[in-house]
Amino acid sequence: METAFTPWLSLGGGLMIGASAVLLMATNGRIAGISGLASRIFARDSDSEARGVSAMFVLGLLLAAPLWFLASDGWPQQWVPASPILMAVAGLLVGFGAVFGSGCTSGHGVCGISRGSVRSIVATLVFMATAFLTVLVTRHLI
């Protein structure tokens, strides 16, 4: 399905994401990496402080769409792949890969690149490459 190119909204939303990452660093000293924060809620080696901060950040994420719903005329527009097996496999790979590879789009792609981290630049290039290839295969080759 086609989606409209939204340069200004996407840039604006991106600026907000950046502001959020700076706010979290300025107040809590933590990287706004969602895979790190989400997995720290239940990781064995997390201390209670890390658990609490991570849980509150994730709670904030979960409240965003309901707040949007209350403030506007409905849920944000979306189309989600419907195949249960595809989404189950995708979820497992995303969760495992992000934590095993020490970060996802936010931790590596935004925060890591902003710090000039070579690890994050390499990780971003790798996951972009495998993601582009995956879509090439699923949409054009099979």
Span 29-58, contacts to other proteins by CB under 8 A: 29-36, 38-40, 42-45, 52-54, 56-58
Site string for other proteins, 110-129 (x = CB under 8 A): xxxxxx-xxxx-xxx-xxxx
CA distance 37 to 33: 6
To other proteins, the closest distance from the beta carbon of 51 in angstroms equals: 11
To other proteins, the closest distance from the beta carbon of 121 in angstroms equals: 10
The answer to whether 21 and 110 are in contact (CB under 8 A) is yes
Question: Could you tell me the CA-to-CA distances from 88 to 28, 81, 82, 95 in Å, in that order?
Answer: 33, 11, 11, 11
> What sign does the dihedral 90-120-78-41 (CA atoms) show?
positive
Q: Does 70 bind other proteins (CB under 8 A)?
A: no
Tokens 């502001």, located at residue: 19
To other proteins, the closest distance from the beta carbon of 41 in angstroms equals: 9
Q: Could you tell me if residue 19 is left (phi over 0), alpha (psi between -120 and 50 degrees) or otherwise beta?
A: alpha
Which of 48, 70, 73, 82 is the binder for other proteins (CB under 8 A)? 82
To other proteins, the closest distance from the beta carbon of 81 in angstroms equals: 5
Which of 48, 73, 94, 142 is the binder for other proteins (CB under 8 A)? 94
Site size toward other proteins (CB under 8 A) is 119
